[in-house]
Chain A
Amino acid sequence: MVLLDVRNISKRFGGLQAVKAVSFVVEQGMIKAVIGPNGAGKTTLFNLLSGFLLPDTGTILFNGEPIHGRPPYQAAARGLARTFQHIKLFSQMTALENVMVGCHVWSRAGFLAGMLHLPRTWQEEREIRESAHDLMDFFGVASLADIEATSLSYGQQRAVELARACAAEPTMLLLDEPAAGLNMRETADIARLILKIRDRGVTVLIVEHDMSLVMNISDEIIVLSYGEKIADAKPGSIQKNPDVVRVYLGEDDA
Chain B
Amino acid sequence: MLSARHLPILAFIAVVIGVQFLAQLTGKEFFLTQLTMTAYYSLVIVGLCVLMGFAGQISLGHAGFFAIGGYTSAVLTTLDLMPQRERTFIALLVKLKVIGVRPDLYGGTVLTIHPWIACLIAILLTIVIAYAIGIPVLRLKGHYLAMATLGFGTIIYSIVLGTQRFGAADGISNVPPFQLLPGLSVSGASGARIQNYYVAWGLVVVAMVLLGNLIDSRVGRALRSIHSAEDAASAMGVDTARYKLNAFILSSVLAAIAGVFLTHFNGSIGPSQASIMKSVRYVAIVAVGGMASLWGTLLMGSILNFLSLRGYFGIFDDAVFGGILILIMLFSPEGILRFNLIGIAKQFLHRVQGSKDAA
Contact = CB atoms under 8 A, between A and B. Distances in A.
Interface of A: 50, 52, 71-73, 76-77, 81-82, 84, 88-93, 97, 100-105, 107, 109-111, 113-117, 121, 124-125, 128, 148, 164-165, 168
B218 A128 contact: yes
Given A90-B224, A93-B221, A93-B224, A82 B235 contact: yes
A207 B233 CA distance: 21
B220 interface: yes
A77 B236 CA distance: 8
B213 A124 contact: no
Interface of B: 210-211, 213-214, 217-222, 224-225, 227-229, 231-241, 246, 250, 292, 343
Given A73-B234, A107-B218, A128-B218, 7 more contacts: A72-B231, A73-B236, A84-B231, A91-B228, A101-B221, A109-B217, A115-B210
A72 B222 CA distance: 15
A226 B227 CA distance: 36
B235 A72 contact: yes
A201 to B, nearest CB: 19
Contacts of B250: 111
Given A114-B213, A121-B217, A72 B234 contact: yes
B214 A115 contact: yes
- Tell me if A's interface is mostly helix, strand, loop or mixed: helix
B219 A100 contact: no
B236 A76 contact: yes
A103 B238 CA distance: 10
Overall SS of chain B's interface: helix
A91 B230 CA distance: 12
Contacts of A81: 235-236
25 contacts: A50-B235, A72-B234, A76-B234, A76-B236, A81-B236, A84-B231, A88-B229, A90-B232, A91-B229, A93-B221, A93-B224, A101-B222, A102-B236, A104-B218, A104-B236, A105-B237, A111-B219, A111-B250, A113-B217, A114-B214, A114-B220, A115-B210, A125-B218, A165-B236, A168-B236
A180 B219 CA distance: 32
B292 A92 contact: yes
A111 B217 CA distance: 9
A76 B225 contact: no
Contacts of A84: 231-232, 235
B237 A168 contact: yes
Given A104-B222, A107-B218, A109-B217, A92 B237 contact: no
B302 to A, nearest CB: 22
A113 B231 CA distance: 25
A114 B218 CA distance: 7
The 5 closest A-B pairs by CB, nearest first: A114-B217, A76-B237, A105-B237, A88-B232, A90-B228
B221 A110 contact: no
